[in-house]
Homo-oligomer: A and B are copies of this chain.
């Protein structure tokens, strides 16, 4: 900027005025400055600018895994909103690791992001207190912050969605419904388990721990759990899967367990559910073609709502901490509407 000023024969401040389209600059002077800018290839340093101005016009987003469709949709919506507000976006994946979540958040804070959107992996967010005190705003998405951390949060109605899914299966005659969920320490997994239990209770059905298998959406783990469930004396007639990854891996596991050839879709071979009914939490690509009934969340809306809320806060909104809960939607496609097989003991 100094060089430009010298080249244009004006003071530094005049260059600054031109660069920022500030009023009160003689048109001829402005032109001379612009010429110098082009000639010297000058580009404003926004780092220095934000240092001086106090706001960095950037926000940080911490999700679980950028490669997962759920979070990448959320991420895209946040990005869109941020750009719309003239903000750039830092992204980072926590990999479901509390320490990594903290490191990312603190790294973003060290860059003085104006705000944060966090899908928390950990349950202790006391590390955020100094940042909040310093004026950084944060909105939690998909999962609430740990105890002792007051912040806005945008969730899906996890319990309600799972309740609706289980109730749907019950309405179609199922009495033995298995629940395949994520690690129980994850908020959404716990909530969905709660919804499942509530639906059973509402229908007067017993809660059978033997029908519940919580764990990572790992193919081997799911195959083992499914095999165990299906081998049992009184096996389930229906499955409720706890998230998109689990649903997909369950379909794979069922195909391998029931021995139905892969390639079923293309070859017309009777495929994979082995007579079971299935409702999956989360919609997924090709679920429509496969005929899989799902409880759909709207990850983009989750991201958009969180971002909108954050920018409202950044604009000065100091209302009380809020908690949004977005509805889920049950989409019947066939797999969740199959009746249980006729019972052998009551022919």
Contacts and interface: CB of A to CB of B under 8 A. Distances in A.
Interface in A57-112: 58, 65-69, 72-73, 75-76, 79-80, 83, 88-93, 106-112
B265 A265 contact: yes
Contact of A51 (B51, B83, B108, B268): B51
Interface in A244-301: 248, 251-252, 255, 261-268, 270-273, 278, 284-286, 288-292, 300
A20 to B, nearest CB: 12
Interface in A212-250: 248
Nearest to A245: B285
Interface residues of A, number: 70
Interface of A: 41, 43-48, 50-51, 56, 58, 65-69, 72-73, 75-76, 79-80, 83, 88-93, 106-112, 130-131, 133-134, 248, 251-252, 255, 261-268, 270-273, 278, 284-286, 288-292, 300, 333-335, 338
Contacts of A334: 262-263, 266-267
Contact of A262 (B45, B134, B288): B288
A79 to B, nearest CB: 6
Given A65-B76, A92-B89, A43 B130 contact: yes
A177 to B, nearest CB: 17
25 contacts: A43-B110, A44-B110, A66-B66, A66-B72, A66-B79, A67-B69, A67-B72, A67-B300, A79-B91, A79-B92, A83-B92, A91-B91, A251-B289, A262-B291, A262-B334, A263-B289, A263-B291, A264-B290, A265-B265, A265-B272, A266-B290, A266-B292, A266-B334, A266-B335, A272-B289
Contact of A273 (B48, B66, B266): B266
B41 A47 contact: no
Given A67-B72, A69-B72, A93-B76, A266 B291 contact: yes
A292 B44 CA distance: 51
B285 A286 contact: yes
A68 B262 CA distance: 25
Contacts of A261: 291
Contacts of A56: 47
A80 B66 CA distance: 10
